[in-house]
Amino acid sequence: MPRGVDAEWLLAGYHVALDGLPLDAVQSVALKLVKGTWPTEVTFCPRPPELANMVRKEAALMAERRRPNSPMIAADKPYISPADRDRERRIELSRAGWQFVCEGGLEKFNALSKKRDLPVGSTCLWAIDEIWAPPAKAEAGRAAA
């Protein structure tokens, strides 16, 4: 993410901008952007309306050879914020035996990882500022934090 860009708002903007567009066109544009094969110059992280225009152009090119009833991005699918997603992930990790190590976002996670103060396999739930470790390794990391 470029500095100063709120990822949650940007993702919500993409969801709104791509609402109802053909899924295969969205996937095609994303693949071309990642591979660097989109035919025109593209700035890093195109804004939602720019991406939507790219997808519409791709959909028009694909329309001639598109199979009938191509799946679309679900208009009724609710947007799930990163914080809500991480809260759900926390519940899954807890049920799987993972242990809460400490509070901290990506900066703390990266610093502890560089110092090797976290167990191998630890994960950072950055949206809720929590660091979790796999079951057997959680106690070693808790002592380091």
The tens place of each residue's pLDDT in the chain, 145 residues long, gives: 667 778 788 888 888 999 999 998 899 998 888 888 888 888 777 888 999 999 999 988 888 665 556 566 666 667 788 889 999 999 999 999 999 999 988 888 888 988 888 888 899 998 999 999 998 754 555 555 5
Q: What is the pLDDT of residue 138?
A: 45
Determine if the pTM surpasses 0.75.
Answer: no
Residues ≥6 apart with Cβ < 8 Å to 77: none
Q: What is the pLDDT of residue 89?
A: 93
Order of strands across the sheet with 99-103? 99-103, 130-133, 123-125
Take residue 68 and report the two structure tokens written for it: 């009938």
Q: What is the pLDDT of residue 98?
A: 93
